[in-house]
Amino acid sequence: MKKKFKKIFILLIVFFLTILSGCELESGQVRLPDLEGLSRAQITRKLDRLRINYMFKVKPMVYHDESQFDKFIEYGSGLKAGDYIDRSYFLYVFTTALPLTVNRLHELTLPDYQGKEFVKDGIGLVQLTSTVDGDTAYFKSGSNTIKVRFLGIDTPEIYSGVEPWGKAASNHTSKRLREAKQIVLEAEGVRIDTYDRYLAFVWVDGVLLNLELVQQAYTGVSLSSRSKYFEIFTDVENEVMKTGRRYWGELDPDYRY
């Protein structure tokens, strides 16, 4: 009989521990689980099971390699694993930035430019003369050398009031343009701005560089809703913004804060 009661007692203890391990209390409180090393997908599964109200936030920091992305850092408000919170409490969960996985460049097709010249026709082949920064460059179109401001984007500054990620954006643009086999400029709407710069979408080897800069988190979008590219630009911006990369919160290792 004693053995039977002992067995029942052990089963009750196991049951009790199982309930506790679920991190829930009948009082309406929840015990915060240990999330160390987990990705957002793994965190979501854990917290959803506990019916916790939460929101992810990216903690600004410098990253040295891609293995650091999408990892739990800490709970908000100084909370730690093992602490209890009310079920009605709204919890912030801080993680590292997310990898850049959005790729929609293939959805856009270079318009017909054969036999056309940019200055006269609003589209045409050009040759790179020099780059200025992430969203400005000089090109030769026919017999004209023109300064071009890229439509729909505004990369961080590198001259008047240097900004984080300005140099990185400038380097990306410079590399893409200098290595290009073919550059086509495409105008839309107003051709020249108040600074006498031509406004254009810049196609590099069939890829829209303006959108690429958004997709690589070097800039946000500043494109008119009347543009034919407005929807895809804003869709990409919204997805990239969630990653917290570069322009969207990541600390620039080459910038003196």
pLDDT digits (tens, 9 = 90+) for 152-181: 999 999 998 899 999 999 999 999 999 999
Q: What are the C-alpha distances in Å from 36 to residues 68, 74, 203?
A: 13, 8, 44
Number of domains in the chain: 2
The answer to the question of residue 112 being in a domain is: no
Same-domain status, 154 and 215 = yes
Which residue in 177, 170, 254, 174 sits closest to 219, CA to CA?
A: 170
pLDDT tens digits, 186-203: 999 999 999 999 999 999
Which residue in 28, 46, 27 sits closest to 37, CA to CA?
A: 46
The whole domain housing 138 covers 118-248
Amino acid at 199: L
Q: Rounded to an integer, what distance in angstroms lies between the CA atom of residue 241 and that of residue 99? A: 11
Same-domain status, 233 and 160 = yes
Q: Rounded to an integer, what distance in angstroms lies between the CA atom of residue 203 and that of residue 121? A: 16
DSSP for 49-75 reads HTT-EEEEEEPP---SSGGGSS-EEEE
Same-domain status, 185 and 243 = yes
Same-domain status, 186 and 232 = yes
Same-domain status, 87 and 175 = no
Quote the pTM value.
0.86
Per-residue pLDDT band for 7 (boundaries 50, 70, 90) equals low
How distant is the alpha carbon of residue 71 from its chain centre? 16
Query: Which pair of structure tokens corresponds to residue 102?
Result: 């959005």
